[in-house]
Structure 1
Amino acid sequence: MLAKGRGTYKYFTKNHMLYEHNQETNRLEYLIPKRTSLRHRLPMGDQGFIDFVAHLLEINPKKRPTESEALKHPWLSYPYEPISA
């Protein structure tokens, strides 16, 4: 996916390392993303929803679901029960 991107060279090295251009020092600086989990970023009790979002955010385009595949995810078929006030 990165190899096909038009603006990839602006943000990644040829080895697909993430970097940015520091305007003050005129140097390239690597951006190292903070390691975290989706469960940590979406603190909720609905594990099905977290699985659904993780499914949609798959980095590998060959594993990432198409629109029709995403609509078949089990989380979308869970029964919805409105909370009464």
Structure 2
Amino acid sequence: ASTSDGRPTVNAMLVKRNAELSEENIKLQKNDYETSVSAQEDKLTIIDTRKQEMDNSLEEMKYELEKAMRRECKLDFRLAE
């Protein structure tokens, strides 16, 4: 689709530009999606790390509680003698 002097018509130029913009739009959407997924993965990693820290803290507290309870039992036994 060109004019008699060999220049492309406005319609042909618009079709070409539309195809270029569509391709650029697809690239941007893909990049946006990948960025969003990456951000969600980062959040998940942070949450998972925090959960592990809390699990460790809970285990430490359980150990300290058991230790205190054993100490209390020993003291109760001594007082009973």
| TM-score normalised according to structure 1 size | 0.20
| TM-score normalised according to structure 2 size | 0.21
Bigger relative CO (Cα 8 Å, ≥ 6 apart)? 1
* Higher share in helix: 2
* Higher share in strand: 1
